[in-house]
Structure 1
């Protein structure tokens, strides 16, 4: 028997079947988009062979290679679809056909009627979380775990943990002071991220990793997985070493995290009424025990509920991934935008002096005694909200439905069936129909009446909004209050270039932009003259990690 002939025949059959499936999928996608085109609905120039890939490639030539795609979409919407703030884009096979929604009113309808996460989210998030989490699940599974996790994000409970953020904030100040004494250029994103990850794990598991002073293996492993999970590259999963890299870092995370979860589990079972070990994890465990009386506390030797523990670990990893990106990027961009607007920095510093007094050494103790004092800093809140408006962390994808049509500004109906629907935060946040002077940094706009309903969405809205928004806002307020009067932070991109440390991200950039864009894009280093543009690197990160210098302010 000729086994080589049989093997070749088998391989040929697989290749033919896969090719046939690929071509049929492409035909279905192109047919759907063509039907929408014939209806006269808004979209760029399209053809059967490449869809909108040719158009998108030409647009991307004007940007750096790792630019955040939401930034490009915002510019496309303003340039070509300002009158509708809604259009279709066919980038198959990189992405399914997508309806991009940049209209605030239509985005509210999405929140009301489309709350199913698309399948693409599983491939994006599960390598990082280790399994299903609130980021990618739907239906009863999502609803159950959302209910379990909610008590740990109640405003009162979050505020009760303010001292944890203050402790981490003090260490963050120590790190910046050390950097100021050394006088070297460094990446602000790196030190900010360590603060964020350290403080999140404190309230998630009541665990101090000491990550700011010494790099801990868990956050390091989580960040190492991120470059291997991107949206827009259908061939990434075929990379021969990818599964081994992801499995390696997952083993590291589990090696350190599982014993900590088991310890928290045992402490809760031994004394469920104790406040000393209370955390997001134990609050979720308490809610789970109420739903399943046979799992209720019966003593410290009680058998571990392994199913709960596994999924709880996925959720804790989800908190670290989702939470660190938002707080880190907004904190860095707050320093960046305040450096560009010294009058806003001066006003914020004046507010801090008025509320906390001129003695900076007393700020931490004042916050510890009465964390609600932070509520007396409306301008600081305005700075944070305006930074989030101008540099939103991302957007939101939802699965479309044949039953749901969305209206653009002119009243035209856009079907969502057979498409993904993207709520385009950048487009909405820069819409002149929502904000006056949207390109201008104006923290004071948040001291007045606010904005059109649905017009501010860094945490999304509706039932699938971000549970951790109170955590992020508290982290940001605490850090700005502790640092704004102590330090001047100045971007140092030119110096970073001279040090020849301009390697892009981790050396791998498999984002949709790199797959479609041309060689000319590697010559671009800024977006609208700003080197600190939002880059695609596991989130909306400041380009090159925001190289900067920090100096102590003479008191």
Structure 2
């Protein structure tokens, strides 16, 4: 009798397990049929984890290029069980980024934010974002940019000294990614913190090490974040950034702020501009002061996010500019003719160099440093002119690289032709290296000024040449939204030689 009872209990447990597994399979298949039911094409999702794994084991640029060609300008994917819509149609991009901005006020969706990240401009939305954006925008006016320009000129001169030393080596091998990473670290340290770092030495500083860890993607972390239920990510407090390294940058910024407040002389850098915008101590009769001034916490967050956003993106742009100029010597010589005849150390003159602008823009088109950007729906939404409906909290990805390489948008999109930006403006919403709409990159002018000055200085003094190691079939870093190449080698040669 006891044996029969135990057998029945085992059968019951087995039956429950089978029912649970069957229900789980039914639930997952139902969730993963969301786009099919709406007639939206897309890659087949993997059980439970959706298309998250492909985003991590393949490079996003190539992955979205393939999806774009195969499924069209609208295709659906899945983050775990959650639907994710990808849009390359320019009219819909206009609707999402501008016309219906109130529906899509947020950028990259974050499930959990560490305390430092909570005030990141890139993470805020709604009234908090609008207030922060309006307070930070004056930081990048022409007058402020001219003051920053003086600091950047000093960085370019230090870069020239490092290049001179490099050019005297037997091979003159030039690793642009490594070099521009160090250069941009110098720019950030001086323009943000008025700090001098020995960036061209063989040893990386602690600051550089922390930066590297912050901007380097962690595939395992991202796989977990996008695959498991959001409540679990929140409960475990798992952020997209390594919290330890973010906190190091926060502590450094706080220490510098306190030190700066005790200085009698002012340094015209980004940190000082933010400090000058800090809220004063308010009494009961002036509680609204914080609405028009920055708090200490906001200054820290603004400083840290500028450091993160500006470090890798500008370095990547300069890396690709060198690569394209090395492979297109005719373009490089035409650029040399323009910059050698101009006073590139003058802010207004530099801003008016037409061919330099075209080279930068064409580099941003063919090799955008950031290959996608996102918006998140804050209410249910039906795409105009379609029957496609998305629920609240659905992520929308705009595949920048695929749009820039679409022959409907650019003739011969795989060819490097700076002239296309001289003779004809790109069609609206087909050139998106800095995003689009009210959330377009706030530091765009600073990044372009920096890139133009140092690239003009480089080409004016050196030839950038390919070597047998300069491959046309490049491999890229995976698990990141940045277009970062592996082991890219070139050679530099002094113009006077």
The two structures have a TM-score, normalised by structure 1, of 0.72
Where in structure 2 are there 5+ consecutive unaligned residues?
A: 1-19, 227-232, 285-293
CA distance in 2, matches of 1:489, 1:287: 42
The two structures have a TM-score, normalised by structure 2, of 0.80
Provide the secondary structure at the position in 2 that maps to 1:77: helix
CA distance in 1, matches of 2:83, 2:209: 35
2:405 maps to: 430
Cα deviation, residue 391, structure 1: 1.1
CA distance in 2, matches of 1:121, 1:487: 47
Cα deviation, residue 142, structure 1: 2.2
CA distance in 1, matches of 2:251, 2:49: 46
Provide the secondary structure at the position in 2 that maps to 1:331: helix
Q: Is the 8 A contact 1:68 1:535 kept in 2?
A: yes
Structure 2 residue 383 is the aligned partner of structure 1 residue 441: no
**Quick one: which of 254, 257, 260 aligns to 2:253?**
257
Provide the secondary structure at the position in 2 that maps to 1:355: coil
Cα deviation, residue 423, structure 1: 1.2
**Quick one: which of 96, 106, 112 aligns to 1:110?**
96
Structure 2 residue 391 is the aligned partner of structure 1 residue 417: yes
- When residues 89 and 255 of structure 1 are mapped into structure 2, their CA distance, relative to the original with a 3 A threshold, is closer
Provide the secondary structure at the position in 1 that maps to 2:464: strand
Cα deviation, residue 397, structure 1: 1.5
- When residues 73 and 538 of structure 1 are mapped into structure 2, their CA distance, relative to the original with a 3 A threshold, is closer
- When residues 235 and 44 of structure 1 are mapped into structure 2, their CA distance, relative to the original with a 3 A threshold, is closer
CA distance in 2, matches of 1:437, 1:293: 59
For residues 474-489 of structure 1, what are the structure 2 equivalents within 5 Å?
474-489=449-464
CA distance in 1, matches of 2:29, 2:119: 31
CA distance in 2, matches of 1:392, 1:163: 27
Which whole-Å deviations, capped at 9, do the CAs of 1:487-533 have from their partners, x for residues lacking one? 233455749xxxxxxxxxxxxxxxxxxxxxxxxxxxxxx8xx522x4
Q: Is the 8 A contact 1:69 1:536 kept in 2?
A: yes
For residues 445-524 of structure 1, what are the structure 2 equivalents within 5 Å?
445-491=420-466, 494=469
CA distance in 2, matches of 1:397, 1:29: 25
Structure 2 residue 485 is the aligned partner of structure 1 residue 543: yes
Which whole-Å deviations, capped at 9, do the CAs of 1:412-453 have from their partners, x for residues lacking one? 343232521001111211122222221211101111230111
Provide the secondary structure at the position in 2 that maps to 1:135: coil
CA distance in 1, matches of 2:28, 2:307: 35
Cα deviation, residue 547, structure 1: 2.9
CA distance in 2, matches of 1:257, 1:196: 18
CA distance in 2, matches of 1:136, 1:121: 10
For residues 55-134 of structure 1, what are the structure 2 equivalents within 5 Å?
67-78=58-69, 80-82=70-72, 85-92=73-80, 96-112=82-98, 113=100, 114-120=104-110, 122=112, 126=114, 131-134=118-121
Which whole-Å deviations, capped at 9, do the CAs of 1:134-159 have from their partners, x for residues lacking one? 12122233223222221111233113
Q: Is the 8 A contact 1:206 1:279 kept in 2?
A: yes
Q: What is the RMSD of the two structures over their aligned residues, measured on CA atoms?
A: 3.6
Structure 2 residue 179 is the aligned partner of structure 1 residue 205: no
2:184 maps to: 196
**Quick one: which of 308, 314, 327 aligns to 1:340?**
327
Where in structure 1 are there 5+ consecutive unaligned residues?
A: 1-19, 296-306, 357-362, 496-525
CA distance in 2, matches of 1:448, 1:263: 51
2:311 maps to: 324
CA distance in 2, matches of 1:330, 1:474: 12
Q: Is the 8 A contact 1:534 1:541 kept in 2?
A: yes
**Quick one: which of 272, 275, 281 aligns to 2:271?**
281
Q: Is the 8 A contact 1:391 1:534 kept in 2?
A: no
Q: Is the 8 A contact 2:326 2:465 kept in 1?
A: yes
- When residues 443 and 221 of structure 1 are mapped into structure 2, their CA distance, relative to the original with a 3 A threshold, is same
- When residues 288 and 98 of structure 1 are mapped into structure 2, their CA distance, relative to the original with a 3 A threshold, is same
Cα deviation, residue 538, structure 1: 5.1
CA distance in 2, matches of 1:539, 1:44: 19
Structure 2 residue 349 is the aligned partner of structure 1 residue 373: yes
Provide the secondary structure at the position in 1 that maps to 2:473: coil
Structure 2 residue 146 is the aligned partner of structure 1 residue 159: yes
1:216 maps to: 205
